[in-house]
Structure 1
Amino acid sequence: MQPRLDFFAEAPQLMKYVVSLNRAVEESGLDKGLLHLIKLRASQINGCSYCVEMHSREARDDGETEQRLYLVVAWKESPLFTERERMAFKWVETVTRIADAGVPDELYQEGLKHFSKEELVKLTVAVSMINTWNRLCVTFHAIHPVPTAKAA
């Protein structure tokens, strides 16, 4: 796969606003570890290899365990996530696939058991932000350089 275009170069002013919103999400007060997990899960759903690699690496650099990172894709079957994280995964999956069934009232009520109303807004904007990055990266074939193997 070859990159199609550099979206930062083609629309620099608009991308400044995207980066600004991204920064606001990062500084919103949501737990950094939780943000890593939701970014990773949305990126898995959207098939964005660029973002899966980046958010896995960033989460690991910030202390997340390899085992939990491996199991994000199978979070429903894993005992390694808290109830709050599990609710965040449900929210990520529903908001990312919003065209399927919207956000059911039951999920909203369940969300309020784990997040304040303000946190649900922040969580939804965070999900929307990673979905924006995923759509840009998948559409325009953003790729990370392939790492070279270390000499034995």
Structure 2
Amino acid sequence: MERISFSQIPAGIIEKLMSLEKLIKESSLDYKLLEILRLRIAQINKCAYCIDMHYKELREAGETELRISTISVWKETPFFTEKEKVALEFTEVLTLINKNEISDQLFDSLTKFFDIEEICFLALTISQLNTWTRLMRTFKSTVGNYEVTS
């Protein structure tokens, strides 16, 4: 049962979060990569609403069912590029920051595939989705109603 509907959220909260989403969208980072990371964060945080949303976004973007269904076990599959694997590792470490350290080795691995600006946008994207998952889990937003818009 939904605790807080979108219409009950105080003015400004969603708008400010969406302005960050716009900034992220305008970055040079690949949309499908960002959606893969967002789905992984939603899985880690057990946010059903966000899992539904990012699954649908990935499908709309042309991602394969095989890759979508194996994101949670990306380390055990050959379906992800080295660049995606580094980004997924960073995503998991930053999402579970209380259990992990962002090591120099991980940061150095990021710099092989991403420039400093892109690393900043990766960190923002990961932080942003962690915010969204925590809001959606608090609000108990209704799962399954999300529709992709162009």
TM normalised by structure 1 equals 0.90
87 and 61 in structure 1: CA distance in 2 versus 1, 3 angstrom threshold:
same
Match of 2:138 in 1: 139
86 and 39 in structure 1: CA distance in 2 versus 1, 3 angstrom threshold:
same
Aligned residue runs from structure 1 range 33-112, under 5 A: 33-112=32-111
CA distance in 1, matches of 2:84, 2:9: 37
Counterpart residue type for residue 40 of structure 2 = R
SS in 2 for 1:28: coil
126 and 8 in structure 1: CA distance in 2 versus 1, 3 angstrom threshold:
farther
Counterpart residue type for residue 100 of structure 2 = A
1:41-95 Cα deviation digits (max 9, x unpaired):
0100000010111101111111000000000010000100000000010010001
Match of 1:18 in 2: 17
* C-alpha RMSD of the superposition: 1.6
CA distance in 2, matches of 1:126, 1:17: 14
Q: Relative to total residues, which structure has the larger helix share, 1 or 2?
A: 1
Q: CA deviation at 1:103?
A: 1.1
SS in 1 for 2:142: coil
77 and 145 in structure 1: CA distance in 2 versus 1, 3 angstrom threshold:
closer
Q: Which runs of 5+ in 2 are unaligned?
A: 146-150
Matched, 1:116 2:97: no
TM normalised by structure 2 equals 0.91
Q: CA deviation at 1:14?
A: 2.3
Q: CA deviation at 1:144?
A: 2.2
Identity of aligned residues (%): 37
Match of 2:148 in 1: none
Q: Which runs of 5+ in 1 are unaligned?
A: 147-152
140 and 74 in structure 1: CA distance in 2 versus 1, 3 angstrom threshold:
same
8 and 34 in structure 1: CA distance in 2 versus 1, 3 angstrom threshold:
farther
Corresponding pairs, count: 146
116-125 or 97-106, which deviates more? 97-106
CA distance in 2, matches of 1:104, 1:120: 14
